[in-house]
C-alpha cells in the first residue's frame, strides 16, 4: 500500500512538473512570436524579393543639385582640409565646418550633418549612402563649386537593404540582434513543445528531420 501511494505521488508530481514547464514554454513561445511577428513577415517578404532580385525590375530615380560656396566659406573649408592633412590617420575624420553645413542646408536643402569627409587636394567628398538609395556631395576646394546627387531605387530596394542591414546605422543593427535572439527563443521553445507532445504525435520527429534533410541535400547536391 505504501509503495502504491508513493508511486501515485511520484506520478502526480511528475505530471505537475510537466504541466508547469509546458505552460512556461507556451508563455515564452507566444511572447517571442508576438515580438518577432512583424519582423519575421518583413524578413520573409524581403527574402523572396532578394531571391528574385534579377526578375524584379526597378528604375532608379536620380536627382542632381548644384551650388556655389561663397569665398569666406571656401576659406573655412580649405582650413578644415589643412587640419585633416595634418592630423594622425587614426584620428576621427574632420567634418565640414558648421557654417558650410548650414549654407548647404539652406541653399541646396541637403542635411550633411557631421558625416565624415573624404579629403583630397582638390575636393571635399561626403558619401551619404542610405537604405534603398545613395547620395554624395562634392565641394571643389579651389573654385567652391558644389555638386550633390541622390539616387532613389524604390521601396523594394529599401526593404531589401533593411533585410541586409546595409547602411542602416547602429539602431537598426541593434534591432536585428534583438530580433535574432527573439527568433532563437521562438524556435527553441517551439522545439521543446514539440518534444513534450511528440509521444502523442508520431510524425513530429520525421517532419523535423525533413526540415533538416531537405536543405542539407539541396546544399550538398545542387549548389556548386
Residue 47 has pLDDT above 80, yes or no: yes
> How far apart, in whole angstroms, are the C-alpha atoms of residue 137 and residue 100?
12
What is the reported pLDDT for 10? 52
Percent of the chain at pLDDT > 90 equals 66
Contact status, residue 71 vs residue 114, Cβ threshold 8 Å: no
Q: What's this model's pTM, rounded to 2 decimal places?
A: 0.79
Task: For 137-154, write each residue's pLDDT tens digit.
Answer: 999 999 999 999 999 999
Residues making up the chain, counted from first to last = 224
Give residue for cell 589643412: 82
pLDDT of 11 reads 54
pLDDT tens-digit series, residues 171-210: 999 999 999 999 999 999 999 999 888 888 888 899 999 9
What cell numbers appear for 77 in the block?
Answer: 573649408
Amino acid at each position: 500500500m505504501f509503495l502504491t501511494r508513493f508511486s501515485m505521488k511520484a506520478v502526480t508530481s511528475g505530471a505537475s512538473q510537466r504541466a508547469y514547464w509546458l505552460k512556461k514554454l507556451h508563455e515564452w513561445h507566444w511572447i517571442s512570436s508576438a515580438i518577432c511577428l512583424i519582423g519575421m513577415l518583413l524578413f520573409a517578404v524581403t527574402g523572396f524579393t532578394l531571391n528574385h532580385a534579377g526578375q524584379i525590375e526597378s528604375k532608379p530615380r536620380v536627382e542632381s543639385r548644384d551650388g556655389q560656396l561663397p569665398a569666406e566659406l571656401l576659406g573655412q573649408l580649405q582650413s578644415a582640409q589643412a587640419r585633416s592633412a595634418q592630423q594622425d590617420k587614426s584620428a576621427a575624420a574632420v567634418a565640414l565646418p558648421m557654417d558650410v553645413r548650414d549654407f548647404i542646408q539652406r541653399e541646396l536643402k541637403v542635411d550633411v550633418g557631421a558625416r565624415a569627409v573624404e579629403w583630397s587636394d582638390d575636393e571635399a567628398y561626403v558619401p551619404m549612402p542610405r537604405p534603398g538609395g545613395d547620395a554624395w556631395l562634392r565641394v571643389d576646394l579651389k573654385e567652391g563649386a558644389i555638386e550633390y546627387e541622390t539616387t532613389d531605387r524604390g521601396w523594394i530596394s529599401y526593404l531589401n537593404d533593411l533585410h541586409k542591414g546595409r547602411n542602416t546605422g547602429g539602431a537598426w543593427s541593434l534591432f536585428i540582434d534583438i530580433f535574432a535572439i527573439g527568433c532563437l527563443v521562438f524556435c527553441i521553445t517551439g522545439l521543446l513543445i514539440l518534444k513534450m507532445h511528440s509521444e502523442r504525435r508520431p510524425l513530429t520527429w520525421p517532419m523535423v528531420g525533413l526540415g533538416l534533410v531537405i536543405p542539407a541535400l539541396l546544399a550538398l547536391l545542387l549548389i556548386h
